[in-house]
Amino acid sequence: MLRRNRGLLVAALLTCLAGQAAIADPDGKLTIGDNAPMLNVKEFVKGAPVTGFEKGKLYVVEFWATWCGPCKTSIPHLTEMQKKNPQVKFIGVSVWEQNQTAVKPFVKEMGDKMAYCVAMDNVPPGKTGNDGVMAKTWMQAAGQNGIPAAFIVNKESRIAWIGHPMQMEEPLGKVVAGTWDINSARSDIEKQQAQAHKMMALSQKLQKASGDPKQIIAIIDQAIADDPSLEAQLGIPKFNMLAKDPEQATAYGNHLVEKTYKDDPMALNQISWTIVDPARPAKADTKLIAVALKAAKRADVLSKGKDPAIADTLGCAYFASGDVANALEAQERAVKYAKGTQFEKDPDIAKRLEEYRKAAGK
């Protein structure tokens, strides 16, 4: 990330803020605790048709599309959850399709990987997929700007939870067990919406800053001063903006590692990798490398030493600091735990292992 110029860093920051705001559109009217809207679909292409929500029964309504990569990733997970929760009726509704004729072949090809009810949105004649009834009464009404998105409907036919299906297992388990606090969940999403308002306002200020690093940092600092919780989203972008000043970057980096992200392994890993990425055009300042090593060590502890990406970063941090023996140990773990994951075929992880072995004389 340090190889990006200032303009690209600003663009990345604005993209980050937009992503945070998309969690819950502040103008969404449908929320947790409300009565679930009607099921108004064109047709069911798999499973028995569901015409409405029966009192005393639980449902999951999940929105997806044939063109959506993350949706394809979440489909097997939904199937697994349906198997684990046979008392819950899962309904996958295809939305925002510009070509609904692609839905049936897609579902047929998925076969047993998509083992739950599937329906197509009811798109009025002459309209586009964005105008579907379900897209408007569920997704748009709830301020959900991205898919996949899931809604849990409880036994009173009220919306109990809204979010990404990959994060649904815990809340669904509590809804099934009858221990889910719907009022607390509503309060949480209202807080997200309030934060989305702040993020949108901050994004507008940053756009007006015209890429001026000092002005951007000042805007970020003021936002964090007004609401300290925002540092979780703004800390890394600010750290990157300080990259050309090793002293300031080191001081702020230590603050992030020791306080803001001390229990966030992914954020710690990102900070460390920013500093020790082998693709950097020049080696980082030694003080920054110390920050990277501290961050990677903490991330490795939090992940119990079993995350291949974090172990890989830790190996790079040790190697950059001159500790070849520990770099080799971390990299061996990275290769070990990469098996069976998306990192198994990453040539750079294996390449670094060989590099560290040679440096260690093995």
Q: Is the model's pLDDT at 232 over the cut of 50?
A: yes
Per-residue pLDDT at 13: 55
Question: What string of DSSP letters covers 218-287?
Answer: HHHHHHHHH-GGGHHHHHHHHHHHTTT-HHHHHHHHHHIIIIITTT-HHHHHHHHHHHH-TTSSSPPPHH
CA distance 119 to 165: 17
Structure confidence at residue 206 as a pLDDT band (50, 70, 90):
confident
Query: For 283-315, how does the pLDDT look when each residue is reduced to its tens digit (9 = 90+)?
Result: 999 999 999 999 999 999 999 999 999 999 999
Per-residue pLDDT at 145: 86
Mean pLDDT calculated for residue range 68-72: 93
Structure confidence at residue 22 as a pLDDT band (50, 70, 90):
very low
256: CB partners within 8 A, 6+ apart: 235, 236, 239, 267, 271, 295
Q: What is the CATH number of domain 31-177?
A: 3.40.30.10
Structure letter (DSSP) for residue 35: B
Per-residue pLDDT at 19: 44
Structure confidence at residue 270 as a pLDDT band (50, 70, 90):
very high
Say which residue the tokens 């005393």 belong to: 56
Share of the chain above pLDDT 90, in %: 75
Structure confidence at residue 188 as a pLDDT band (50, 70, 90):
confident
Alpha helix (H) ranges present in the chain? 6-21, 69-84, 103-110, 133-134, 169-177, 182-208, 213-226, 231-241, 246-255, 265-276, 286-302, 308-320, 324-338, 347-359
Hey, where are the domains in the chain?
31-177, 246-362
Per-residue pLDDT at 62: 98
59: CB partners within 8 A, 6+ apart: 36, 50, 53, 88, 89, 90, 91, 152, 153
The two structure tokens encoding residue 350:
């294996």
CA distance 300 to 332: 14
Query: For 36-49, how does the pLDDT look when each residue is reduced to its tens digit (9 = 90+)?
Result: 999 999 999 999 99
Handedness of CA 130, 133, 134, 136 (dihedral sign): positive
Mean pLDDT calculated for residue range 200-209: 82
Q: Is the model's pLDDT at 21 over the cut of 50?
A: no
Most confident range, picked from 1-5, 145-149, 296-300: 296-300
113: CB partners within 8 A, 6+ apart: 75, 76, 79
Classify 246-362 by CATH class: mainly alpha
Select from 155, 156, 93 the least CA-distant residue to 129: 93
Mean pLDDT calculated for residue range 65-77: 94
Q: Which of 121-125, 210-214, 231-235, 350-354 has the lowest mean pLDDT?
A: 210-214
Query: For 236-263, how does the pLDDT look when each residue is reduced to its tens digit (9 = 90+)?
Result: 989 988 988 999 999 999 999 999 999 9
Select from 90, 67, 254 the least CA-distant residue to 172: 90
Q: What mean pLDDT value characterizes the chain?
A: 90
Q: Is the model's pLDDT at 81 over the cut of 70?
A: yes
Of 280 and 194, the one with more pLDDT: 280
Mean pLDDT calculated for residue range 261-288: 95
